[in-house]
A and B are shown apart, each in its own frame.
Chain A
Amino acid sequence: MSQITLPWIEKSPETLSGYRRKAILLLFVLAVGHLGIALVSLFAFKPGQLADWKIPFVLALVLGASLAGMAFTAGAFGVVFYRIIGKFLRWSYVAFALFLGGVVGACLIVWLHAEIFTFIKGLSAAEGEHRVWLLAVPYDHTVRNIYAGLEAIGVEVPVLAYALWPLQFEFIRDLVALGGIIGFISIIPAFGIWWERKVSARIQSRMGPMRVGGWHGWLQSPADGLKLIFKEDIIPPEGDPLLFRLAVYITFVPPICAFLALPFAAAWVFRDLDVALIFILAMLGIEVVGVILAGWASNNKWAVYGSMREACQMVSYEIPMGMSLLIPIMMAGSLKLTDIAGAQAGGFWNWFVFANPWCFIAFFTYYCAALASCKRAPFDLPESESELVAGFLTEYSGFRWSLFFFGEYAAMFIVAGLAVILFLGGWSSPIPEAWINSFLTAVGASPDGFFGTLARGLLAGGPIIFVLKATFLFYVQLWVRWTLPRVRIDQVLYACVQVMLPLVMVLLLANTLWILGTDHLQWGWLNVIDGILHWILVGIGVIVALAILCIALYGFKNNKRLVGQLAVVDQLPGS
């Protein structure tokens, strides 16, 4: 027994408490120690002693230590108060709360990030020429300089100046942003997989996961994730082990990079690229390389079939997808996502999906093409389990396998988000802000007061509305998957090349001419027709939305009737 023994594996539950005590002690010591360093560091650096040469040490020691300390503290709390937290977690609807909290947290990361960067941008440059030691990279802001800026806004924490210093480089800023994104998208699959299982269960009139974590098994995904992490790492020896490992990252990283350019709201974006839209498309396009490599490196017949299907499908569907996206681009006259979303503000009738019939159709063609390029059902040919075992995922297991899912769910969220930004008004609320303001004034609340700000933040557009919209489209993807049968591969390609491509081309041409007639040549009669069609489409949209709402309400009201008694929870072991 010379192996490392983990206490909670080796011993039986009876003796768990002893090990837990040791663990608690260890963690507590670590946590307190690091917290101590962190606390000391807050005050150990006097404002007068700030110097640039200290930066690496401070960053390495103090920040690293405090971050680690926080993590350990959280872990220790988790272990110590397991039972209390466990009770707490059983509380109904905590899943949604957690999800929303995660979303809000992610949004906050984006926002904080943008704020910090604006703050650094706003600082006046330090005098003299400064270069990074050894690398000779010039920079504008010294630590003193930043601290002066912090003092000006009343934050007199010297170590913060050290922490903020690296953020003046866009490069590092993006790295930090990537960290934030990984945090966000690790929520998406965790929630999404659980949700998908619940949705599928509801569609098939069964329960879905019910046990782990209490309320409706909401902790199922993290539990599965844990399991996957500890699973054996199997690499097929006859394949190409290097590529087998690399493929995972080529699939996983691009969707994360795509988040760099995806705005959550007007200022809530990591990088407001002027070519944001194509950038995201490019990132989604690179993803396919990883999938193909995964299939190839597995050296498995089914995997290679799956990856070849993927290659065909992705390369074909990118074209109708991109061409559908050209239509809102034309309407807005920009490739910048913030511009495009900004052009649709002021009420849901301004959304591009209702702008004219071509846009209306383009929304659906885009959505179909996006489904196909995310290899979601009914286009999930590359991993169709009834034909190809699991397609390119056949040889994957454990953590690598879960990373593929991270990538896929991230991509799903991105295409949903793109649809929202390009067609459904982005983060703007369906109700114009002026209406909200006047409503607030009418009920006597000041728009700038606490409730006014809260109401405006929630209703008048912002990241939350964006995430809600995107989540809805994400939900539609699940819905489609569990209600439509899978199509054959030749049907997939036929649908792309012979149906979607001509249709989209016609749409593009028609929209071009339409814009030419309405906006540029100002044909009166065409504008009249445009107006009429616009309001008809708005009417259709309202009717569809109301219908979905009514059906959902009906289902919610009668959910017991649909699936029988949900009270089996109480009879499960461990309850």
Chain B
Amino acid sequence: MILAVGLNHYLVLSALIFSLGVLCMATKRNAIGILIGVELVLNAANINLVAFSKYNAGVGDGHIFAVFVILLAAAEAALAIAIFMNFYNTLRTIDVDRGDELRG
């Protein structure tokens, strides 16, 4: 029965959220919007980890991985915000399209 939830449901959900995260990264011009997209992607990965832990691996490794991912995401967000502050101080805007000095 397709409505009975199994591992695949979680994985598909994760894939959708992942894609939405990528979409968010690709369409937001606000730097913090991109950061939000990254968080979505990480969350999608975490769902995978926890779902596998529940359905396949059994032991707590998936949980531990997810804890570390959350931790790294927090660290990354802190640094990213700091970088955005510098970005903003330099260019007086938070629009990432304006930071295109490296264009080809």
Contacts and interface: CB of A to CB of B under 8 A. Distances in A.
Contacts of A135: 3
A136 B1 CA distance: 9
Interface string A499-535: 0000000000000000000000000000000000000
Interface string B1-25: 1011000000000000000000000
A318 to B, nearest CB: 13
A565 to B, nearest CB: 60
A interface, size bucket: under 10
Nearest to B4: A136
B interface SS class: loop
A70 B3 CA distance: 39
Contacts of B3: 135-136
Interface residues of B, number: 3
A136 B2 CA distance: 10
A296 to B, nearest CB: 13
A291 B65 CA distance: 32
Contacts of A136: 1, 3-4
A97 to B, nearest CB: 49
Nearest to A135: B3
Interface in A138-191: none
Contacts of B4: 136
Interface in B41-55: none
A129 to B, nearest CB: 11
A312 to B, nearest CB: 14
Nearest to A134: B3
A135 B3 CA distance: 8
A323 B1 CA distance: 47
Nearest to B1: A136
A549 to B, nearest CB: 46
Nearest to A136: B3
A136 B4 CA distance: 8
Nearest to B2: A136
A135 B4 CA distance: 10
A485 B1 CA distance: 64
Nearest 4 pairs of A and B residues by beta carbon: A136-B3, A136-B1, A136-B4, A135-B3
Interface of A: 135-136
4 contacts: A135-B3, A136-B1, A136-B3, A136-B4
